[in-house]
Chain A
Amino acid sequence: MRLTTDALTKRYDEFELSIPDFEIEPGTAVGLVGNNGAGKTTFLRLALDLIRADDGEVMLDGDVVADVFDWKTRTGSYLGPSFLIDFLTPDEYWHFVWQTYDLDEATVNERLARFEDFYVDEPIGDTTKYICDLSTGNKNKAGLVAALLPEPDLLVFDEPFASLDPRSQIQLKEILQARRGDATMLVSSHDLGHVTDVSDRIAILEGGEIVRDEPTDPDTLEDLRTYFAEAIRPKETGPADAEA
């Protein structure tokens, strides 16, 4: 699924998100990084039509997301606890999600079995706790499993690695790496290492604008660390600068 923006703008009181012409080719994984308040979550919500844009639009395979419904059947997303139904158990929640995507039970059971090592709080198929009583990490796992279950063409995640234990972070990274090429992915994360590992491209969002957008390579992680470190450390001046 191809994601494109066309003069996309969203304004808040003293902030404006402006992404005039951003494109994610089908099967490409893009990591979205930036400081707090840069507009990452806003952009993801615009992509999922959870926020109304002030100008412009987001399109999936040429269809404006605000005008068309069908893209939802091919999209899986998890942006945080608001994507959970906390009075359900994880099994009931996944059951609800699979019905929404018109999956049959046999397919779902087969796919859920692949997450048995990932969601380990209770055996899948035998969960008894309500989602509201799970730890933050297990809540996130329940939401991630629900997003991955339909094996959608587009995956949108906001801070998927947050609150996961180290083993689960590695497992999630492997799951996402396995999906590269098959699904278009848009992953926002503050974990520079993980997001670099799962992405074909990294886009840096700053002050509501994409200031850098480049393919990942072995030096990308170091580049990102240097980029963000410069914001808190003054640049070192050479002798020529000092004399001037």
Chain B
Amino acid sequence: MRALRILLRHRVTRWLRDPSWGTGTVAGQIVLLGLLLLLLAPLGLGSYVLGDVLRELYPEADALRLINGGMLYLVPVFTASRFFLQALPSERGAAYTTLPVSQTGLLNGQIALSLLSVHTVFAVVLVGPVWAAEVATAWPSLGAAAWLAIALLATVVLPSYGANLLHLLLGRWPWGFVGALAGVALVVVVDAMLGPDLFRGLSRGVFGRPSVGVVAAVGGVGGMHAALLWVMRPRLEVDRRARQRIGGSSRRGAAFYRWVERTLPMGRLVALELRQIVRTRRLRGMMLYTSLALGAIHGWGLIIVVSGGSIEPFYIVLACTTGIGGAALGLGPVVFGASSSYADVLFAHPHRLVAAVRAKLIVLWAGTVPGTVLLLGVCAGLPASRSAFFIASVFWWWGIVVPGFVWMGMYARKPVDLSASHFSFRTSSLHEIGGLLLALAPMFTFVDATGYWWSTSVLLGAPGLVGLLACYWMPQLLTRRFRARRHEMLAGFRENEPI
């Protein structure tokens, strides 16, 4: 408890002193609150009326039984959302290891603090209303309380533990991570092959019989907690380093980097960025998951084309965002923050600012090339109006989003911790959100696109094309802003804690 109190006090202090969100903590928190209310309100409302909706749709079925059958599916959903969108427990534990604080207490404290997150709020907002509307009114209070406890353990604690464990497995035993994913995939396949009742039946068993469910939930949480402690403990060993050495295949990489330096514009800086992507955990992980996403999205597109199927809205959303953006979508929000550890090198040495800006543009544009090529391949088999929309989205990305990321990135004041988790996609500033909104614009315009493919294509494609045509002048324009912002950026990188 003492360790938890210390960690909590320090977490609150850090939050209070964090000049996040660009214009200050208060403004940033107000924006965050607004966004949360926008998302949480319909979620809570939907959860409250879920029983009524189910009774309308399936009048012969027991609504509570249907709800119980679906509850366990929230575990993988929330686990995945935490895995992609929540950082590991603080990796600053080393500062406490020499103090008279119990290591186990320290680890338990870090695990407990990882429950303090927006994901927990989402889970509570999803579970609470349906409990109040359907369970609390139908069951005795003890049973209802047990149902709530099981639901919270399943949607808050298990996903948090599971996501942390996956992150740690990925960092320490990549093959263990692959094995865990394979196990999950096997469960899903078996469930599908044996019919949909296996997992659903398990869910009904856990939530329909609270006495059993409480034991199962507590047992599951206890087991995960023990596993998490076991995997986290070595992280406190400050002497433990993964000694990185190059040699063999990495020396072959040297020839590639030399080629980049000699061939590409701003080759020296582009080669530096590429080395950073390959040699740092966070950016390497970003490349990995964006590559996997590209493969999945465009594989799906090819299947649609080959089978003559129709373009689903969800495919359009994915194709026009991650499907084009690829690595640029991951790197864009942190395009300058990722260089924070050597920002002084860039500014103290004779690097022309315009060269640095051009290098960022080149790397981001290059990040969109694989997705663009794959998408254009899919477009070849689609009707002209659909292809036009996708091509317009490509122009939008190239002419607006990429320069937008560079522009927004100049307002970055937080260094990015590149040794952090492989998979973490978090935003902590209004400018990052601005950049992401630009990238998501095709998705928003698509809301009006159904039936208006050509006009929406023009809406997206025209500004993108203008941006592309202006790319000769764009670096100079961006450099003027960069020059004006350089001191604030450097000061922020020095003063703020890394994200």
Residues of A within 8 A of B (CB): 48-52, 69, 72-73, 75, 77, 79, 82-89, 92, 96-97, 99-101, 128-130, 132-133
Contact = CB atoms under 8 A, between A and B. Distances in A.
Contacts of A89: 246
Contact of A50 (B272, B275, B341, B347): B347
B490 interface: yes
B350 to A, nearest CB: 4
Label chain B's interface by main secondary structure: helix
Contact of A85 (B247, B345, B494): B345
Contact of A87 (B241, B247, B276, B344): B276
Contacts of A97: 349
Nearest to A52: B487
B243 A83 contact: no
Interface of B: 241, 243-247, 261, 268, 272, 275-276, 279-280, 341-345, 347-352, 418, 487, 490-491, 494
A109 to B, nearest CB: 16
Given A52-B487, A129-B244, 20 more contacts: A48-B347, A48-B348, A51-B487, A51-B490, A69-B350, A72-B349, A72-B350, A79-B344, A79-B348, A82-B342, A83-B345, A83-B348, A84-B345, A85-B341, A87-B275, A87-B276, A92-B275, A100-B349, A100-B350, A129-B243
Q: Give the 9 A-B CB pairs with smallest separation, nearest first.
A: A52-B487, A72-B350, A87-B279, A82-B344, A73-B350, A85-B342, A128-B245, A130-B244, A48-B348
Contacts of B272: 85, 88, 96
B350 A50 contact: no
**Chain B CB within 10 A, most for which of A69, A83, A86, A96:** A96
A124 B306 CA distance: 56
A133 B246 CA distance: 12
Given A73-B350, A100-B349, A100-B351, A130 B342 contact: no
Contacts of B487: 50-52
Contacts of B344: 50, 79, 82-83
6 contacts: A77-B348, A83-B342, A92-B275, A96-B272, A97-B349, A99-B261
A87 B345 CA distance: 13
B350 A101 contact: yes
Contact of B268 (A50, A52, A82, A99): A99
B490 A50 contact: yes
Nearest to A82: B344
A132 to B, nearest CB: 7
Contacts of B279: 87, 130
B413 to A, nearest CB: 14
A41 B386 CA distance: 59
A69 B342 contact: no
Contacts of B245: 128-130
Nearest to B279: A87
Contacts of B241: 133
A23 to B, nearest CB: 22
Nearest to B418: A87
B253 to A, nearest CB: 11
A51 to B, nearest CB: 6
Contacts of B349: 72, 97, 100-101
Contact of B341 (A49, A82, A133): A82
Contacts of A73: 350
Contacts of B246: 89, 128, 130
A87 B347 CA distance: 18
A84 B272 CA distance: 13
B268 to A, nearest CB: 5
